[in-house]
């Protein structure tokens, strides 16, 4: 039987995203879920998503 993982959301997200600003966390969750769909493991998806979300938000503020 295949285990189906639920995607992360605003109420259920990795502990490492706890201290991100809400707007950054929301984008990081979106990116991480997309990476998980492409079969990235959790740790790698979280790392990439957090970095990309932080960089993307910072660039948007310039």
pLDDT at 13: 97
Which of the pair, 18 or 6, is modelled with greater confidence? Answer: 18
Residue with tokens 């979106």, as numbered in its chain: 30
Rounded to whole angstroms, the Cα distance separating 34 from 40 reads 9
pLDDT at 2: 58
CB atoms within 10 A of CB 49: 25
- Please write the tens of the pLDDT for every residue from 13-62: 999 999 999 999 999 999 999 999 999 999 999 999 999 999 987 665 55
Q: Tokens at residue 52, please?
A: 């990309």
pLDDT at 6: 72
pLDDT at 56: 87
Look at residue 3 and tell me whether its pLDDT is greater than 70: no
């Amino acid at each position: 039987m295949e285990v189906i993982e639920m995607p992360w959301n605003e109420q259920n997200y990795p502990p490492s995203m706890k201290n991100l600003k809400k707007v950054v966390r929301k984008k990081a969750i979106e990116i991480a879920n997309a990476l998980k769909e492409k079969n990235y493991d959790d740790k790698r998806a979280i790392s990439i998503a957090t970095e990309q979300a932080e960089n993307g938000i910072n660039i948007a503020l310039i």
